[in-house]
Structures are given as structure tokens and as C-alpha cells.
Amino acid sequence: MRAAVLIALSLGLVASCGGRKDNAIAKLAKKDGPVDRQQGESEWKAADVGAEFFIGDAARTADGGAGLEVVGGAQIAMQPHTILRFGGTAQQSKIGVELGAIDITGTGTYAVDGGDLKLSKGTVRITAKGGGKSSIELTIGDAQVSSINGGTISLEVGKAIDLGLDIAVTTIDAGVADAAAAAVDAAEIDAGPVASGSEGQIEVTGKRAEIQKPGSTTWEPLPAGAGVLAKGTKVRVGTGTTARLTSGGTTLDLAGGSRAVLGEDLVITLEAGAARASSAANAEGKVVVPGGAVALNATPGGSESRLDMNARETKVTTTRGAAKLTGANGGELAMNRGESATLAKNGTIRVIEAIPSYFDFRVSVGESVTIHDPKGATAVQFSFGGKCTDSGFIEMDRDAKFRTAKVSGGKEQANLMVSAGSWAYRLRCTTASGDSAAVGSGRIIVLRDSGSRALPKQAATNDIDADGRNYRVDYQSVIPTIAVRIKGEGAPFTLHMATEGKDETFTGPGPKILVPGTKLKEGTYTYWVDRNGVKDPKVSTLKIGFDNTAPQVYIEKPVNGAAWDAEIEVRGAVLPGWTAAVDAVTIPIDKQRRFAAKVPKPSGNALAIKLSHPQRGVHYYLRRGAK
């Protein structure tokens, strides 16, 4: 058995600094939610951006991710619900991933157990899986794993490889000398004892694990390795140590600073700290926590929940499959992948993030759309379209790197509540052997917009002068005619309009020369006038742009919130270039750019009127009926 996932960083510090306590190893550069820091054995305390981390310190994320800048050039992105421990020596510091996952970005050669990892201007994700095991996955760039016997495996984006890692970073964009491979805290063990039907199993990684035997009040050191766990035994792990407890189909991975007990009924109780509870494919599991219990459902790909406990409550986040949260007061909550809730010690359940059981709007995976919703938040159903054989899950994040993604799973579709803003999404498939790379992706923009603003009236012409100054014209539907005013004598006049290396001329007697909008496009023009064949010294600039704030579509009916008849009347108007449809049925647009039709009720909670434009993309305007 190997030690917890470790990364030994060759920091490239000057000799006088070394790795002493007064020289930071890393600094908190950004955070998307609460981040805590533990200094040595002290209590966890909130950390702000700029906080420094030294040997012996730890970092912990909650609902959001965090970014760390490591001395030497490496960038580490912590995922939500992750614990990092900075250990090692003054000569070679180590980062232990006790729980969760991190992304490492840089360029360098990394010595791994049994070979080398070569990363070229890319990013790999390392995920702690408990029991000293981990997975490594290339997300960007190029990487290879070379074994001692000369074999080479080229990592592929999105395909994870399971490893028991000790990683020594020998270079990270700094040209520092090669460092020795990280030491293993625990001796290797070929195989651990097998528990009987009346015992549990434990596998310890690290040096700070203790047990309290049944009937005893004394804590005894527990060496690294695998063993059996008797009923009534308590386990606690200190900093830099993890433990995997297995009993009755349930696995509980304890992070440093956690405590658990194996009950007389062989059910594990988490008493303090943070842990990950999981069950195998098609198997049920259960973990007791103060105030109730978490039951893991039997699913084809297995179920998993993260447990984060404080003095008042336990936060439960379903990260795979499904679970049921039960309070001691009788309350129950069914939880699907991506949902979270808290369970107070008095048994009260409070929902934090819930996956909607309904949908307003359906999108096929792979589409990119803009949704105009009067509410500003849309329940979207993502249709997998047969891309996953068993089941799949949608990851959605404002950042296309999906570091703090919202997640929702299902067999043929998955629902997510999409709030206002721009979002990237992707579909990954779930199998008994793990999660696939993305099999489909797209973007969704949700705007709080009812589409009820009147359309702008197009100006006949816009007047500008040929006087050496700069002008800007923003159009709302089509580019207007530009009237260039010319002062003084010298007719006939020749107007030059130049852009992108091309010069087009327009001739007239003055005092104005008209340039049709059909002859212009978005961009920047320089223009000047020739008077009797002589160039005027005054050269002006015209910038033509599109006014994104102007309404392009006006929806007259149906009125949002009004009762629907068997057939719904749809009526509205658009600016030039737009087409209209509902459920793939085209609605004709007349010469006045108005449209009208009657359509059946939608399958979802909202009617989606589709408006398309060759340059502006596909936009859906939603209308909901009376409740």
C-alpha cells in the first residue's frame, strides 16, 4: 500500500531560504467559496486571498473551488470539498491530497510510482480515492507515463488511469535540479487480513491513526496498512493521515482530523470531520451521522456522498448515484446526483441545492442557445439523445474547465436549474467501471427578459461631417444610410470610404453625399474628401457597431402568467433577418415583420418561441401559463 496521494515539489528556493517555516510554500490566489486553513495541529480557521501556507499547514474548500500559487511556478486548482496537506521536509515539501481532487498546471517531469510522468504545458487532475489510491487524468496539453521497463503510455484527454501515486516534481517551468522521489510514509503491504461477517475492514495511510477498542477509554496507535475492525471500535486520524473503513457494503474514506466508530450492527457512524461514503455498483450502503443517517441507493454505477461535519450540522452532497437522508425526527429527503442538504443534530433537514423534478425548456445535448426568461432562472432538461448506453450526467459551470460544476444525472435526460448568465455544459456517461470523457457539450445563456419592449424605429439617415473628427454609429436592425456633410467650395466632391485595405468612392455635388447602408458593414472606416481632384487634409473616422441593448424581438402574446387555452395564440414582431418557430414548426413572418399562429400546449412548464438570426444565433423566448 502506498501513502496518500503526494506531490513533492522541488521549489527552487535559494539556499539561504530553504523550506523553513518563515518561507511560504504556497499562497491562496483566488477562491470561489469559503476556504479554511489549518496551521499545524490548530483549529481550522477561515483564509482570505493572499493567505500563505507553510510546511505542516492544510487547506480545505467547501462548496467552491480555490486556486493556489506554488513557489516554483506550479498552479494548483482545488476542487470543492477538497483537503490539501503541506508536509515533507525543508529540502522537499509535499502536498497530500487527503480528500477530493486537484488540477496541476505547468510543464515538467514528474517521477511517479513505477516510472515518470512528463507534462507539456498542460493540466492533469489527481483525484484521491482513499486507501492510498488515486486516479490521474489529462485535461489539457500532452502527457506521458513511462514505466521502468521502458514502456510508455500517452495519457488521453478525459481518460483517467488509476494509480497509487507518489509524485516528485523535478521541474516546473523553473529549470531546477532533479529532486529525489518522495518517501513513502508507510511500509508496503502485499495483502491485508480479510474480515469475517462480524467485523469490518480498515486500511490506513499515514502515521497518525489511532483506535479505541471496545470497552476501553485509551487510544492506541494504529500503524499504516490493512487490518480488521471489531464491532464497537472507534477510529480517529490526524493530520496527514487517511483511513478507509469498509463494512456491510459501505466504504467510508476518512480525511485527516476525522473520527468514526463501527457499531454493533456493523454500520459505520461518522462522529467528526470530513469523509466520503460510497457503495459498490448495485449495492446499498449506510452511514450514521449526528441527527440521522445517509442511505446510499443501489445504482448500476454505485453511489457516493461527501460528508462535511461541523459543530452544528453535517452537509451531505450526493456526488454519484442517489441517496436518502433521514433525520432522527422522522424527516426524509431523497437526493440525486448534484443535490446537497444539511442535517442538524436535532434531525432537521435543510435543502441547499435541489435538482428540479420538472422542466421549463428542453435542449438536446450539443446545442448552444440563448434563453430569454421573465423569471431569470430556467429549469432546463438536457436530452442525451442516445449518447450514453447506461446513464449519464451533465456538468455545468460558468468556466469551461468545469472546476466548480453543478451536476445532475439520469438515464436518458437530466434536469438543472440554470440561473441568469452564461454557462458551459457537457455530458459524461456513467458505467460500472467509471465516468467517461465528455460525449457532448454546448453553451447556454439565460437572460432575464420578457421580450415585451417595443422594437426600435429605424432612422432614415445618420448625419456625420468630413471635418477630421471621429464618429460612431450604432444600429439596431440594419445599417442606416450615412449622410456625409461637406463644407466649403470645390465641387464636384469625391468621398473616400476605406476599411480593411479597400477604398470605395462616392461622388456628388454636395453639400451632402449619401452612402447607402447596404454598402457598409460593421467595423471602422477612415474617410476623406477630394475637392476638384485634390485630397482634403482632414481625414475622419467612422466606427459602425451593433447595439446589443436594443430589442430585436417583441412578443405580444401569450401574456406571461395568463391562463392557456387548448391552443395558445402566439403573436409578435421582429427586426429584419429573424425567423420564428415553435417546436420546429415555422411561423410565417409578413412584410411588416409580424408573425402570428396558434400552437398546442408544450410538454414542459413553459412555451418556447424560437427566434433565429444568421448573425445573432438562436434565441428562445419563454412564456409560462397560470398556475
Residues 266-298 have pLDDT tens digits of 999 999 999 999 998 889 999 999 999 999 999
Q: What is the DSSP string of 408-437?
A: EEESSEEEEEEESEEEEEEEEEEETTEEEE
Name the band, by pLDDT with cuts 50, 70 and 90, for residue 261: very high
Do 442 and 365 touch, CB atoms closer than 8 A?
yes
Give the pLDDT confidence of 382-408 residue by residue, as tens digits: 999 999 988 899 999 988 888 888 899
| pLDDT above 50 (res 533) | yes
What average pLDDT does range 291-308 have in this prediction?
92
Which pLDDT belongs to residue 184? 31
Gap between the Cα atoms of 379 and 127, Å rounded: 31
Q: What is the pTM of this model?
A: 0.56
Antiparallel, parallel or unpaired: β 166-169 and 5-9: parallel
**Quick one: CA dihedral 550, 555, 559, 560, positive or negative?**
negative
Gap between the Cα atoms of 11 and 91, Å rounded: 9
Write down the residue that cell numbers 457503495 correspond to.
279
Give the pLDDT confidence of 78-98 residue by residue, as tens digits: 888 788 888 776 666 677 777
Gap between the Cα atoms of 99 and 306, Å rounded: 10
Name the band, by pLDDT with cuts 50, 70 and 90, for residue 136: confident
Antiparallel, parallel or unpaired: β 481-485 and 502-508: unpaired
For residue 626, the cross-strand partners are none
Tell me the domains of the chain and their CATH numbers.
Answer: 5-169 (2.60.120), 200-342 (2.60.120), 361-448 (2.60.40), 461-546 (2.60.40.10), 553-624 (2.60.40)
Closest among 340, 318, 326 to 291, alpha carbons compared: 326
Which pLDDT belongs to residue 90? 60
Which pLDDT belongs to residue 167? 38
Antiparallel, parallel or unpaired: β 332-336 and 303-309: unpaired
Give the pLDDT confidence of 146-199 residue by residue, as tens digits: 544 455 677 776 666 765 443 333 322 322 223 222 333 333 333 345 555 678
Which pLDDT belongs to residue 324? 95
Gap between the Cα atoms of 452 and 304, Å rounded: 45
Which pLDDT belongs to residue 200? 92
Closest among 467, 432, 487, 454 to 572, alpha carbons compared: 454
Name the band, by pLDDT with cuts 50, 70 and 90, for residue 480: confident
Q: Give 527's Cβ-side CA count (13 Å radius).
A: 31
Give the pLDDT confidence of 35-73 residue by residue, as tens digits: 988 887 777 888 999 999 888 888 888 878 899 888 767
Give the pLDDT confidence of 543-588 residue by residue, as tens digits: 998 776 667 888 999 999 999 888 999 999 998 889 999 987 899 9
| pLDDT above 90 (res 482) | yes
Q: Is 480 helix (H, G, I), strand (E, B) or coil?
A: coil
Q: What is the mean pLDDT of the chain?
A: 82
**159-163, 175-179, 209-213, 529-533: the lowest-pLDDT one:** 175-179
Which pLDDT belongs to residue 472? 93
Per 3-state DSSP, the chain is made up of helix, strand and coil in percentages (nearest 5) of: 0, 55, 45
Chain CA centroid to CA 425, Å: 8
| pLDDT above 80 (res 17) | no
Please classify residue 531 by burial: count the beta carbons closer than 10 Å to its beta carbon, then call 0-12 exposed, 13-18 middle and 19+ buried. Answer: middle
Which pLDDT belongs to residue 102? 85
What average pLDDT does range 337-357 have in this prediction?
91
Gap between the Cα atoms of 335 and 322, Å rounded: 6
For residue 157, the cross-strand partners are 138
